[in-house]
């Protein structure tokens, strides 16, 4: 398989004091996986309808997060730029359904959309607190949802569930949302773990951990289960400290991690 690293949304929050409060540039790190039977996207960032109608993202999100909304960064534009047809995308695997992860679903209405069952249930019937993060218009086309639940399969000590063959797995990492997952992708002889929003800053993988105060506050404000989020962040930090040569962990929004792949 060939794995491409895509930035499907540049975000420019007000970092304050030269970026010391929070980074002035974040990304939406997505993957495009070339498999023998088609292309698979891991997360989608923003879609063409988000660019055309940014109001649907909500004014608070636009003011606080500062999305650039560049049409060339959409997943569908980058699939075409790589020489593929949009129709070649057969599957989309989501870490979760937040608006900056699921916006591109409508650009691939024929694709199977793989998501953790708990996440889908919450997104389709959100609580009052969850309504702002789940934009129903992003899946108004009626995706071909494929629900998954963890079966306890062991992957580096984590529960997992096979999504596509044995090369793409969902790894439950609850906390940011009730059904948040990482997505593990086989890359040659090793593994990539897209940890989604389980953490936001590369220093959170270190021991001791570091994180700009603005990002610490944002993660706490957005979490649906703080105990689970901290527990899973600690587990990821332990996994990183074990030094597995065949495993690379990265999050959805850290620009330093994204740039390290040379995409």
Q: What was the pLDDT predicted at 16?
A: 64
What pLDDT, on a 0 to 100 scale, did the predictor assign at position 124? 96
What's the confidence (pLDDT) of residue 263?
63
Q: What is the CATH number of the domain that holds 109?
A: 3.60.15.10
What are the φ/ψ torsions at residue 157 (nearest 5 degrees)?
85, 0
Position 17 scores a pLDDT of 57
Q: How many domains does the chain have?
A: 1
Provide the domain limits for residue 169: 2-260
CA-based nearest residue to 247, from 150, 157, 151 = 157
The string of pLDDT tens digits covering residues 79-106 is 999 999 999 999 999 999 999 999 999 9
Q: What is the pLDDT of residue 151?
A: 78
Selection from 23, 25, 66 nearest residue 46 by Cα: 66
pLDDT of residue 106: 98
pTM of the entire predicted model: 0.96
Low-confidence ranges of the chain (pLDDT < 50): none
Q: How far apart are alpha carbons 139 and 248 in whole angstroms?
A: 31
Quote the CA–CA distance of 82 and 2 in Å, as a whole number: 12
**Are the C-beta atoms of residues 173 and 159 closer than 8 Å to each other?**
no
pLDDT at position 18? 60
Tell me the CA distances in angstroms from 85 to 6, 79, 118, 144, one per residue in order.
16, 7, 32, 19
Q: How far apart are CA 7 and CA 22, in angstroms?
A: 19
| Contact in structure between 119 and 86 (CB atoms under 8 Å) | no
Distances (CA, A) of 111 to 3, 26, 114: 18, 27, 9
Query: Residue 14: what pLDDT?
Result: 78
CB burial of residue 2 (10 Å; 0-12, 13-18, 19+): exposed
Q: What's the pLDDT score for residue 57?
A: 95
Residue 165: per-residue pLDDT: 85
């Amino acid at each position: 398989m060939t794995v491409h690293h895509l930035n499907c949304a540049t975000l420019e929050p007000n970092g304050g004091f030269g970026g010391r409060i929070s980074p002035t540039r974040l990304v939406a790190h997505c993957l495009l996986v070339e498999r023998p039977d088609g292309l698979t996207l891991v997360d989608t960032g923003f879609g063409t309808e988000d660019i055309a109608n940014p109001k649907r993202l909500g004014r608070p999100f636009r003011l606080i997060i500062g999305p650039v909304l560049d049409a060339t960064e959409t997943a569908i534009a980058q699939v075409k730029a790589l020489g593929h047809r949009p129709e070649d995308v057969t599957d989309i695997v989501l870490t979760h359904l937040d608006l900056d992860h699921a916006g591109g679903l409508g650009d691939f209405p024929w694709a199977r959309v793989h998501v953790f069952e708990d996440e889908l249930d919450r997104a389709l019937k959100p609580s009052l607190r969850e309504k702002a993060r789940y934009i129903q218009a992003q899946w108004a086309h009626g995706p071909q949802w494929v629900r998954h639940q963890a079966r306890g399969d062991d992957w580096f000590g984590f529960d997992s569930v096979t999504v596509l063959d044995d090369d793409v797995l969902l790894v439950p990492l609850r906390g940011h949302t009730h059904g948040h997952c990482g997505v593990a992708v086989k890359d040659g002889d090793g593994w990539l773990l897209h940890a989604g929003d389980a953490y936001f800053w590369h220093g959170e993988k270190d021991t001791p951990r570091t994180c700009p105060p603005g990002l610490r506050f944002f993660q706490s404000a957005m979490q649906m289960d703080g105990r689970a989020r901290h527990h899973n962040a600690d587990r990821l930090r332990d996994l990183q400290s074990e030094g597995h040569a065949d495993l690379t962990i990265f999050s959805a929004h850290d620009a330093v991690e994204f740039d390290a792949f040379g995409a």
